[in-house]
Structure 1
């Protein structure tokens, strides 16, 4: 059994590393994520744009699965939202979905994989 004070200590330490400036991310959103990449002694930001298929919430370990189509091949990548390697996250477009995980998009091709856009 874990001591309650230990749990509080861990959550206090984690709260210092949580990002405060994150946008509201929902399943089905089309996002553009800036990832810091170090090449030699230079650092640059590379953008990854795609649709959020899944989201796992657990405070500092919150992750999102983003899928994009590149030259007809689907590429999925899992991002740790509160990681220092994530420079920026912008929501480009929101979609109306009725599922918490959009894994069915993996099987669909072309126009069938489009999601209905919502406007705010």
Structure 2
């Protein structure tokens, strides 16, 4: 087994990892911010068939960066809060659509877990100026 660092001595270890990860990153991911309401399509395999299942909710948190970027999405289903963690660059992650954006002042919106559904929807809308 040859060492890649010996073959390419001018590149740092971090740069080599970035070059390898570039092949697996998705190019068409939108700029996601905490507080955005998103609709995410995830590939679900049932028997021999695959289908896309959509999950719509508010982004509570973003963690890591690069190929390890994950988002935590929360939705309220039949009066019960449901949270799910998505790995953005996963092959099972099909699509993402930003429904609306909210102006928030925190990087993690974990306080939405304690608030009722009516108050949780009171995040102020952010209008993107172009």
Q: Count the aligned residue pairs.
A: 118
Which blocks of at least 5 consecutive residues in structure 1 are unaligned?
none
Matched ranges for 1:81-96 at <5 A: 81-96=88-103
User: How far off is 1:110 after superposition?
Assistant: 2.7
> 2:106 maps to what in 1?
99
Distance 2:116 2:127 in 1: 24
> 2:126 maps to what in 1?
118
User: How far off is 1:52 after superposition?
Assistant: 0.2
Map Cα deviations across residues 43-89 of structure 1 (whole Å, 9 max, x no partner).
10000000000001321000000000001100000000011101000
Alignment partner of 2:39 out of 9, 32, 36? 32
Q: With structure 2 as the length reference, what TM-score do the two structures score?
A: 0.85
Relative contact order, higher structure (CA 8 A, sep 6+): 1
Secondary structure, aligned partner of 2:53:
strand
> 1:49 maps to what in 2?
56
Larger radius of gyration: 2
Distance 1:43 1:37 in 2: 6
> 2:19 maps to what in 1?
12
> 1:79 maps to what in 2?
86
Q: With structure 1 as the length reference, what TM-score do the two structures score?
A: 0.92
